[in-house]
Amino acid sequence: MSSTEQGTSSAAPAEPTTAPESAAAPEVPESFYYVHGKDKVVHKVSAGALQHSALIHGMISNLGYTEEQAKANPFPFENIDGDILQMVVDWCNQHKGKPTPPEDTNLPKQKEKLFDLVLAVNYLEIKELLTYCCKQVAMMVKGKSPEEIREIWMIPTDAEDEAAEKEAKKRAGKEAAGETAAAAGDAK
Amino acid sequence: MPIALLKFPTDLRREVFQQCDPFQLYALSKCSKRTQRSIKLGGTRNWKLQFWGGNLIVASVDGLRYKFGKTENPDEYFKTQHAGRYVKYMGIQWGDAFNMFFYLLETFRIRVVETLGIYYGNLEKFLNAARELIERKIEVEVFHIEDTSEVKDMEKLMRLLNQMNISQKFTCFQKFSSNFHHNLEKFPKEILIHYSFWFTIDQLLECSCVRIELYGSTLSNQDIDLFLQKWKSPGSFPNLRWLQIESENIDNKSPILGMIPPIEHNHPPRTRVSLGADSSILNPVGVTKEDGTVGWMKVELATRSTLKFLVFNPIAPRI
């Protein structure tokens, strides 16, 4: 719609300013967008909730989609499991338009999902949730000994690292030798 | 449910490390060489360390103190406990205290040492530590030299002092031999020196400190007069708020700013000027600088006479 059609051209008469100062500004209808994860289940999320994600906020800020266009073009996040995306969407909805308190009780608690959640949140660039999730990861090893930490965070010992490194070198050597042999065969 | 931390991208691992406290990071550094390298990706921390050469190293983090204490008992390794409302303690195994200090400095990527104190240990190790801190350009907020007979030949360490980045306070309780000379070239905000015979009037005239305390000084009435005459001229000693000199050479033979000691305000009403509990003067005499700044002075005569001088100066840093 052009500015003339909106009636804001210089020729248009000025709007009377009789409204009392205390009158509330008319509410702008909230716009919604749609996202889906690996499971293709589509989630409807308000633009306000999506502001938490720097990635999505950047994507939608210049789109100007109508409701229909948004519905027809959900943002695909094929690298995020459906249940993880659901958690993220829930969190964004719960924190729409407000900052996260230092001790957020509305956060996903499932430890078994934490790894995927951290990766998804990192990808979607949701800074506050990322900080919380990383805090949860860090809390897993609070008061633990190195042996316990190795178990919780699946950290190989030096000997295991060395063995894996040797194995990788061996494999790389074999592959290189295989490639050389194949190249020699091709040459014949 | 385990999580494969090392499979996290580097920036995520860094984020997790940022959420760890010093005990967690230390234990993690002991998991493997790989984790030790990985932790260092976490970047520089705003944590600070305190070290006195003994079997305790303290990491200060956001108002909390994490104490690393040496233990020989394997059952106590990595065991943590609360040692007060804001204090936590962890028993760890270490061989050499200095190696542990630098290990923590390196592991935590620390740029500021809150306190480095010389109480125990041998000089060679302190010399090496001082050189290392100079080389790494690490700020030392408070440097304290205790009057200890355990650390010999402290003079050698004093030679490195001017190269160290001491920012807040230098305290020296060491009694040096009578032929000791040292010229402080850089000044932190505060100095407190016992047996300060080596701190000459020339150094005092160059001193840019906010607070100066000299005990066992040899400065005389003439020296103090010279200093205060210089203080009176505009722009001199703009930082100074407190000067205390205890000297056997302050006497009633010659004037200080035209007054023969003892110098105090003898007439009622009694007045007290104060910058805090340890910086107050009862019945001082006012001294006005040429720019209008007022200082308050008192000289008491005793076996070791004392000058106290206080300046209310809204521009100078707080002490």
Three-state helix/strand/coil letters over chain A: CCCCCCCCCCCCCCCCCCCCCCCCCCCCCCCEEEEECCCCCEEEEEHHHHCCCHHHHHHHCCCCCCHHHHHHCCEECCCCCHHHHHHHHHHHHHCCCCCCCCCCCCCCCCHHHHHHHHHHHHHHCCHHHHHHHHHHHHHCCCCCCHHHHHHHCCCCCHHHHHHHHHHHHHHHHHHHHHHHHHHHHHHC
Say if residue B292's pLDDT is above 60: yes
* Domain locations along chain A: 32-140
Mean pLDDT across B102-111: 94
Backbone angles phi, psi at B78, to 5 degrees: 65, 10
CB interface of A with B, residues 133-172, below 8 Å: 134-135, 137-146, 149-158, 161
User: Average pLDDT by consecutive 10-residue portion of chain A (188 residues)?
Assistant: 34 40 60 91 90 87 78 90 92 82 62 86 92 90 94 94 92 83 72
Structure tokens at B255: 């004037």
Closest partner CB to B3 (pick from A115, A143, A145): A115
Distance from the Cα of B91 to chain A's closest Cα (Å) equals 11
Task: Report chain B residues whose CB lies below 8 A from the CB of A154.
Answer: 2-6
Amino acid B249: pLDDT: 96
pLDDT tier for residue B75 given thresholds of 50, 70 and 90: very high
Would you say B138 and B105 are in contact if contact means Cβ atoms under 8 Å apart?
A: yes
Note the pLDDT of residue B233: 94
Instruction: Answer for the pair A36, A63: CB distance below 8 angstroms, yes or no.
Output: no
- Encode pLDDT of B309-319 as tens digits: 999 865 555 55
B16 at the A interface (CB within 8 A)? yes
Beta bridge partners of B77: B91
- What does the pLDDT read at residue A8? 33
pLDDT at B2 over 70: yes
The amino acid occupying position B104 is: L
DSSP helix/strand/coil, B267: coil
d(CA B217, CA B245): 7
Fold adopted by A32-140: Potassium Channel Kv1.1; Chain A (3.30.710)
pLDDT tens, residue by residue, B262-290: 999 988 888 899 988 789 999 999 999 98
Provide CB contacts within 8 A for B111, sequence distance 6+.
Answer: B44, B45, B46, B138, B139
Q: Which of B217, B194, B230, B201 is nearest to B305 (CA)?
A: B217
Query: Using CA atoms, how far apart are residues A161 and A145, in angstroms rounded to an integer?
Result: 19
Nearest chain A CA: its distance from B12 CA (Å): 8
Residue of A112, A124, A137 to mutate, testing the B interface (most B Cβ within 10 Å of its Cβ): A137
What does the block give as tokens for A31? 């716009």
Reduce the DSSP state of residue B302 to 3 states and report it: coil
- Cβ-defined contact of B3 to A142 (cutoff 8 Å): no
C-alpha distances in angstroms, B312 versus B275, B307, B315?
Answer: 8, 17, 9
Torsion of CA B72, B73, B74, B80, to 10 degrees: -100
A135 residue type, one letter: K
pLDDT at residue A5, rounded to an integer: 33
pLDDT of residue B148: 78
